[in-house]
């Protein structure tokens, strides 16, 4: 039986194989593990990016609502003061 020892450069692990097929399988497993890690990392980055984008969109919507509410409050205050002024005038007219 032929025995080979190889060293995967990225992981630093020894691969001891009894045959070429075992060695190849070990290398394939290491490659698959590295690819899986890279894909997992990219998925995590993408998920984080989507979370950040969701937060930005939510903040923007809140700012738009806040501005709309402030505008409505301003208009309502103006109407209140206009009504108060009209009421004041009508009271003065009735008193004269």
According to DSSP, the residues that pair with 68 across neighbouring strands are none
Give per-residue pLDDT as tens, 6-24: 454 555 555 554 688 889 9
pTM above 0.75, yes or no: no
Give per-residue pLDDT as tens, 39-81: 999 999 999 999 999 999 999 999 999 999 999 999 999 999 9
pLDDT (0 to 100) of residue 2: 46
Q: What angle do CA 85, 91, 96 make, to 5 degrees?
A: 125
Q: What angle do CA 58, 59, 60 make, to 5 degrees?
A: 90
């Amino acid at each position: 039986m032929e025995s080979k020892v190889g060293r995967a450069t990225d992981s630093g692990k020894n691969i001891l194989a009894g045959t070429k097929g075992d060695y190849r399988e070990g290398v394939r497993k290491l490659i698959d593990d590295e690819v899986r890690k890279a894909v997992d990392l990219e998925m995590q980055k993408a998920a984080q990016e989507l979370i950040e984008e969701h937060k930005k969109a939510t903040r923007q919507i809140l700012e738009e609502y806040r501005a709309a509410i402030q505008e409505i409050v301003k208009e309502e205050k103006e109407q209140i003061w206009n009504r108060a002024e009209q009421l004041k005038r009508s009271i003065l007219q009735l008193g004269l």
